[in-house]
Amino acid sequence: MKQCNPATEPTSLEWCTGQTNTPGIRPKVFFIPKGSIVKFPTLPTEIPTSGSMGDLATYVGSFKLVAEKKWKSMDILSDKSPATAESQGSKPSKTYLNQAVIVVPNADAESAGLSKLAANDDYVYLIQQRNGTYRVIGNEMFQTNTDVTLSLGSDPTGDEMGTTITPSCTDVCHFPIYMGEIVTEDGTINPDEQTGGA
């Protein structure tokens, strides 16, 4: 077998004593049908000369959307909405399954309509960690699967009522980081400014 030079060189992972690592995601998730995206940002295949290992997991550029299209949002119960990434497959074709369980209090016609649309379509989701970093579920290579469940409850004092949206997508990176613009109905968000480039 031909010996190839590695395209990347790893660096050490360090943790500072006293550093805070707050788990969870923030209570707003953005989403858009893939058909509304004209161009995806790209993931580097090599560490830039002046960059770091983290650049391999960070998109370069912004999502370019079809004219007049904007990211939609949903308000979620963040304490009940975990996000996970799991390795899958075997060498040399290992990938990751990125998934979030997004719980929203809505149990109305609008949430049922979203369920009907998303179930058989291909969406991209942006979730935001508590530290401000945005992560992406969805990409150009693989379709996103969106499962939706509804609970109307039965006990007025003990049962929870709402909709659970579970998007999952295979990716070459676990939860890629997105620093580009997010064009929403309420204006444009610049994640790089929010996180200070972290």
pLDDT cut 90: percent of the chain above it: 75
pLDDT in tens, 46-83: 888 777 899 999 999 999 999 999 999 999 999 999 99
The pTM of the full predicted model, rounded to 2 decimals, is 0.91
pLDDT mean across residues, the chain: 91
Closest CA to 56 of 170, 192, 174, 144: 174
Q: Where do the domains of the chain lie? A: 28-195
CA distance 141 to 31: 18
74 by DSSP, 3-state: which? strand
The token duo for 121 is: 């379509």
